Amino acid sequence: MNNRIRVCRAEKDWTQAQLAALIGVSRQAIVAVENGKYEPALPLAFKIARAFDKNIEEVFLWNGTNNE
């Protein structure tokens, strides 16, 4: 699974720490998700997408494989 979190953050001019604080998780979680090292559960994926005012499919892109 790929994601566009880095791009979305750049659009909003948010740091990883700001995004983490907004959705209530650790910065390490955002780093791991953004780098594709950790695939989030649905609630976190929805929270991230909603933080960017986007649908989940606009942020997370299923490519048929697990990265972890």
CA distance 44 to 30: 10
Neighbours of 45 (CB within 10 A): 17
The CB-of-65 to another protein minimum distance in angstroms stands at 18
**Residues paired with 61 in a beta bridge:** 2
- Report helix, strand or coil for 4: coil
Applying CB under 8 A, what is the total number of residues that bind another protein? 25
Eight-state DSSP code of residue 7: H
Residue 27-66 contact track with another protein, rule CB under 8 A, x = bound: -xx-xxx-x-xx-xx--x--x--xx-x-------------
Q: Which residues bind another protein (CB under 8 A)?
A: 12, 14, 18, 20-26, 28-29, 31-33, 35, 37-38, 40-41, 44, 47, 50-51, 53
